Amino acid sequence: MSDLREKFVVGNWKEKIPPGGFEYYVYKLNKFMQTRRSFSMCTPTVVICPGDVFIDSMKRQAKCFQVGAQNVHADLAADRAYTGRSTADALAWAGAKFCIVGHSECRRDFGETEDLIAQKVIELLRCSADLITPIICVGEDDWVREESDEAAELFVRGQVRHILESMPEKLVEWVMIAYEPIWAIGTGKVPTPEQIASMANAIGVELFAHSDDSVDELPPILYGGSVNAGNAAEIADIEGIDGVLVGGASLDGKTFGQIIREYCQ
Ligand code: 13P
């Protein structure tokens, strides 16, 4: 890890609870982060995205890390009621500082389209541009990657472009992008560092093209998909990648700690 940009280690618990329980996990993560902060010159921003029911309680107990949500409600049709959804206002009230949007599992299970995802991003930023940071997930299917690396980059650039084109330019600096190839999620398969670096560069081109000219720094780009203690160091060294979005491995406090350590200096 070479550059001085802020780094992010984000845990996506999905529908799960850590095996040792919620309270114990939060207690251990607080202690771990306190120790890291006293021994490191710089530590990453650590974010846990639990199920919505835990956000408020986690926010109250979290001392050295941030809390995020896994999705947000946005209404393209307007003026209807939606049972079982959480709005950006509700998430902000509960204390979420980040929110994952466009996760491939939500695209698959809830039929989320690029238009709806863009609407969600705008909804989060409408709340107040720096209150909740949207973490926009993009990534190709295995058949696209198998076609060629260029096809995968074109596909992901198309996803990013579609979302950014629907947003005011001045809001682009407030988002984060997570590159999560669908074929790498929960499979143990990971693209090569060269493929990830090249994808980060391709995403950066889109971010640059859609940013306000006055922006000094492009938004952070994370990598997600089968990140674990064994590959975290290699991923931390990839140019253009500012951190990781971790699924299964974030549920085990010890493993998650080992991943965080790769981003401490
Ligand atoms: P895994 O780390 O379990 O592959 O999940 C990645 C993910 O979907 C994070 O959002």
In a domain, 191, yes or no: yes
Question: Amino acid identity, residue 158?
Answer: G
The answer as to whether 1 is a domain residue is no
Does residue 2 lie in a domain region? no
pLDDT per position as a tens digit, 71-102 = 999 977 777 888 899 999 999 999 999 999 99
Q: Has residue 70 got a pLDDT over 80?
A: yes
What is the 33 CA–ligand 1 centroid distance (Å)?
A: 22
Q: Please work out whether the CB of residue 12 comes within 6 Å of at least one atom of ligand 1.
A: yes
Q: Could you list the residue range(s) of the whole structural domain that residue 38 is in?
A: 8-75+83-261
Q: How far apart are CA 125 and CA 56, in angstroms?
A: 20
- Reduced to 3 states (helix: H, G, I; strand: E, B; else coil), residue 44 is coil
Known catalytic residue: 210? Answer: no
pLDDT-wise least confident of 8-22, 45-59, 113-127, 145-159: 113-127
Catalytic residue among 123, 153, 180, 262: 180
Structural domains of the chain, count: 1
Residue 203 lies in a domain: yes
**Which ligand 1 atom sits nearest the alpha carbon of residue 246?**
2
What's the pTM?
A: 0.96
Give distance in angstroms: CA of 246 to centre of ligand 1: 5
Please report whether residue 3 resides in a domain: no
Expressed in angstroms and rounded, the spacing between residue 167 Cα and the centre of ligand 1 is: 27
Q: Is the dihedral of CA 232, 71, 104, 20 positive or negative?
A: positive
Ligand 1 pocket, residue 139 CB under 6 Å: no
CATH number for the domain spanning 189: value is 3.20.20.70
